[in-house]
Every structure is written in structure tokens, then in C-alpha cells.
Amino acid sequence: MTGVSEILVLILLISGMLILPRMLKPAPPKKDTDTLAPLSKKKRAAIVASILYPIACAMIIKPWNGQLVLFAATGPAPVALAWAVYWVLSAPKK
């Protein structure tokens, strides 16, 4: 009977040495690559201007009175074009 208990103790020791360290190993630290960089003052000003400019154009042109094409050409179109140019120019260089 002592032979069986010695074998069980050896199996327990070996499994403890091989399995327990893998189960108790701490998780690797996560890389924080998903967070966005804080916005600079220039970008914040550009975002605010992108919102206020079409609103100002709408107040002046009044597209609800039938001048929708003129408003589209002077309001949101230049803002979209400016952000598209910025997006193309800010591409990472290889």
C-alpha cells in the first residue's frame, strides 16, 4: 500500500510544480495603445470653428427659404473639404 501512496505523492508534487506556476502566473501588462491622445488647442479651435461656421452661414443665407444649394456650397462643403485635406496631410509617413 505504501507504493501506491508514494506514486500519488510524486504525481501530486510533479503536477504542482508544472501546473500551479502556470495557473498563478500574473497576466502580462496591457499595452495602452487604444487610448487617444489629448486634443491640442488648435484642434479644439478647429472643431469649434467647424461647428460654428455652418451655423453662421445658415443664419446669414437662410437655407430654409430656398437657397439650399448656396448654403451647401458655402457652409458644410468647405468644412468637409478642410477636414479631408487635414486628414490626408496628417497621414503617417513611411
* Residue 28 within a domain: no
* Residue 92 within a domain: yes
* Residue 76 within a domain: yes
Q: Which letter, b or e, does each residue of 56-81 get, where b requires 16 or more Cβ atoms within 10 Å of its Cβ? A: ebeeebeeeeeeeeebeebbeeebee
Counting DSSP H helices and E strands in the chain, the numbers are 4, 0
Task: Kindly report the number of other CB atoms within 10 A of residue 12's CB atom.
Answer: 10
* Residue 74 within a domain: yes
- pLDDT tens, residue by residue, 41-82: 999 999 999 999 999 999 999 999 999 999 999 999 999 999
* Residue 15 within a domain: no
The beta strand positions in 14-74, using DSSP E, are none
* Residue 23 within a domain: no
Which of 89, 81, 79 lies closest to 47, judged by CA?
79
Angle, alpha carbons 35-41-47 (nearest 5°): 80
Count of structural domains within the chain: 1
- pLDDT tens, residue by residue, 21-42: 777 777 777 776 667 788 899 9
The domain in which residue 57 lies consists of 39-94
* Residue 5 within a domain: no
